[in-house]
Amino acid sequence: MAAFIVTGGFGVLGRAVAAAAQSKGWSVAVVDVGAQVPDGLAELACFPGIDLLDAASTRSVFDAIADIHGGIGALANVAGGFAWTQTEQAAPDQWQKLYAMNVLTAVNSSRAALPSLRKAGGSIVNVGAFGAVHAASGMGPYAAAKSGVHRLTEALAEEMRGSGVRVNAVLPSIIDTPTNRHDMPDADMSRWVAPADLAEVILFLTSGAARSINGVLLPVTG
């Protein structure tokens, strides 16, 4: 079976997506900038130390994955980052960093995967943010970046229409991760989105059951 690539695959959500894809019979390839492969991923094809901001390196790795697995059938663009900072205090490099981490990683990964995805009639799922639909205080740089992911999803979906490649995005609210629990200890965590639940939505969007869904920004809010 063609590969299911998960970028940012060493993180909490990335690991959940990789596990869900494997459980559904996919050949999973996990790509991450981290140099150390986390416990539990050793049995998967892992590609550590990959800078997705380097378009040429990204293309080289994705081509290698396609050669190993006989193609690429799905891409989950999980790689990204978050920072809370108010606009007046946010330095220009913070805006640039969040844009690069969230938008450019998805752009480079999608472009690298598209030749193989066309052959396979595959699917891309981007991870946007429900917090980018209406940004709260301190969310300006992050929401602006994730809004870029939303617009990228819509534009690429239209560009791929008729090619057999579908492009959608999930828009989670707060994801239940150890970092978020540490940063927001007084929050009502019962309303947060479990990584495994979000992973199942991502897998649904790559499945044949979602073959008529394209260009959708799907809220996943618990």
107-138 pLDDT, tens digit each: 999 999 999 999 999 999 999 999 999 999 99
Kindly list the structural domains of the chain, giving each domain's residue range(s) and its CATH number in brackets, ordered by start: 3-220 (3.40.50.720)
d(CA 166, CA 152): 13
Strands 166-172 vs 217-220: parallel, antiparallel or unpaired: parallel
Residue type, 13: L
The Cα-based distances of 68 to 143, 214, 221 in angstroms read 37, 28, 36
Q: pTM above the 0.85 mark?
A: yes
Residues 172-194: pLDDT tens digits? 998 878 888 888 888 888 888 99
Lookup: tokens for 205: 């969007």
